[in-house]
Every structure is written in structure tokens, then in C-alpha cells.
Amino acid sequence: MKNDTINMLAGIPTLDIRSFESGSESDRKQFVEQLGHAYETIGFVAIHGHGISESLIDSLYAESRAFFELPQAIKRQHARPETNNQRGFVSMGVEHAKGSDAADLKEFWQVGQPDPPANGDPVHFPSNQRVAELPAFQSTAVDAFRALETLGQTVLRAIAIHLGVEEDYFHNWVAGGNSILRAIHYPPILSAPSSAVRAGQHEDINLITLLVGASAAGLEVLRHDQTWTPVTALPEHIVVNVGDMLQRLTNHRLKSTTHRVVNPPQSEWSNPRFSMPFFCHPRPDMKLDAMPHLLVSGETPKEGPITAGEYLEQRLREIGLAQGK
């Protein structure tokens, strides 16, 4: 199997994950090299050949759209602020990019780990919220969660090889980890926004993010030359990018790239946008200290020691989802 080197439509490197899962040793080596190079430069790739069924993704979009079409009063009944807004419904005006006072132009629904560890603290693993009005919503979201978690594990196996550690290095941290599936609705824009875009420029918090193709364009990635590149992945692609946790762990060898979701041209303001990112998190007690073997002799880590749980809580406060100091 041969990987594409660059897909100009996507604007980012495009890789066939079957080369890693079932290809020859040469195929696997090439996949790891190309993935590693992409993550050390732009921080984004588009993955195809992943095997997640189109019907499952279509069902997730249909159920999500039906939820967001419910009356606002009903949606708000499903808010769970006591979970740091990590479960259930989060309304417009709550989340904002780190360092920005302008709230993103979006509302969303969050589903967490359906298979938490036996000794998992409910503070980190609260129960998921069910929607009586849409009986199939939760089961569809959980099926998608498990499929994306499995794909994320595969990508992390390739990343581990690139980093020079055991292939299953991330397995015990991510299996049953604190991952989140988020269904996002960017409503139609009714008047000229004063300062906000659909999602302000930011970096993701987690290890890696898997983004199921959005219903409309808008995602842009900030390249090293400080220019923004639109990412328009094909429907069969899943965009996978590095998050801040993996950047910390690798002492910034792998790049957590700044990205945003811009507003469409005014002629398209009436069109809503839907997006389904899966944020792959480890268990809260994983240490994010820089891997010693990635430090040059005598080099000081770029960031201090912290656990994944501590870092997540810190970042959730910075973007308005968690309360407290």
C-alpha cells in the first residue's frame, strides 16, 4: 500500500491507516515516518481507510441535528455544569478560546467515557446524560465514541514507535481514559458578530483529536509562516491532530498547532455548521512530564511536571467550562 504524500484539497498530509494496520513492514515504517514528520511540522494529518462506517457517522449527525433542533428550554435541562461542563449540553456564550473574552459562536453536547476504570473517581468520570426525547442519541454517541477511541489507540501506537518507545506505551493510559466526544452546532449567524468567530484560535488540550468531517468548511490551521491554511477533508477522512498534552509529553517535539473555525461568507450565514471532534485523553493520573529520552543531555524541559487531570482542570478554567481559581 502506498500513502499519498500531500492531499492539496485537504491542505494537510493524507495517510491511509491500513498501511500501518495490515501493510508490510515497509508500509508500516513509511506510515510511521510520514505521520511523525507531519506531527513534528504542521501537527495535523487526514486519515482514511479507518473502517468507521459511514452509516454510524450519518446516524451521529442525524441524532445530533435532532437534539440541537429541540427547544432551548429542553436543551438547557440537560446542562451539567457540576461536571465542569464535561457532560451533557453546553449553551452558547459559555466556552471561549484561552486568553479571549469573546465567547465562541457555538453550542455543544458532550459524551464521556462509557467504560470507565473500575476504580475511576466519579469526579473525573461522571455518568453520561441521557435525552428522553431522543432515545437513540446516547447509544449512537457511545458507539461512535468506542469506534473513535479504537482508532485513536491505533494512531497512538504509530506515534509511540516514532517516539522510540514500546508500541503499546499509551494503551493502559488511554483505554478507559477521560476522553470526550463532542457534538458541536454552530447556529446560523443572524447579525454581524462584533468580535467572535465560530471558534477562536486555540490549541487542543488532550493527547490527540480525531475530527469527523464537518458539515461545512471553516476549519483553518496556522502554519509556521503564520499564514492560515483551510482544511477541507474529504468525507471519508478523519482529521487527527496533536494536542497540548502530547506536546508537553514530547517536550514540544510534536506540535500542538493553532487552529480556528472562521465564519462563512455573509451569503452563507444562514447555514448552520455541525462538527464532531473526539478528544482523546489519558487517565487523570498520567504524568505529562517530558519524556527523559527526548531531552538533550543537560536540557531543561520546556514545561514543568503536571498530571493529565491537573492540566485538564487548569485548562477548563481558562476556557470558561470550569469554575474556581
- Cα–Cα distance measured from residue 46 to residue 231, given in angstroms and rounded to the nearest whole number: 9
Residue 224: inside a domain, yes or no?
yes
Residue 8: inside a domain, yes or no?
no
Beta strands per DSSP E along 39-86: 44-48
Pairing assessment for the beta strands 180-186 and 107-112 based on DSSP bridges: antiparallel
Beta-carbon contacts of 173 under 8 Å, excluding residues fewer than 6 positions away, are 282, 283, 286
Residue 323: inside a domain, yes or no?
no
Number of domains in the chain: 1
Q: What is the mean pLDDT of residues 242-259?
A: 94
Give the least confident one: 157-171, 212-226, 288-302.
212-226
Residue 5: inside a domain, yes or no?
no
Q: Would you state the pLDDT for residue 187?
A: 86
Q: Is the pLDDT of residue 111 over 60?
A: yes
Beta-carbon contacts of 106 under 8 Å, excluding residues fewer than 6 positions away, are 92, 95, 184, 185, 186, 187, 198, 199
pLDDT (tens digit per residue) in 143-189: 999 999 999 999 999 999 999 999 999 999 999 999 999 999 988 87
Residue 6: inside a domain, yes or no?
no
- Cα–Cα distance measured from residue 15 to residue 207, given in angstroms and rounded to the nearest whole number: 19
We report the CATH number of the domain holding residue 262 as: 2.60.120.330
> pTM for the full model?
0.92
Q: Is the pLDDT of residue 313 over 90?
A: yes
CA distance from start to end of the chain: 51
Residue 2: inside a domain, yes or no?
no
**Residue 55 half-sphere exposure, CB side, CA atoms within 13 Å?**
0
Q: Would you state the pLDDT for residue 324?
A: 60
Q: Residue 153's domain spans which residues?
A: 14-318
Q: Is the pLDDT of residue 60 over 80?
A: yes
pLDDT (tens digit per residue) in 63-104: 999 999 999 999 999 999 999 999 999 998 888 878 777 778
- The per-type count for the chain, helices as H runs and strands as E runs, is 8, 12
Between vectors from CA 68 to CA 313 and to CA 52, what angle results, nearest 5°?
75
Residue 71: inside a domain, yes or no?
yes
Calculate the average pLDDT of the chain: 89
Residue 3: inside a domain, yes or no?
no
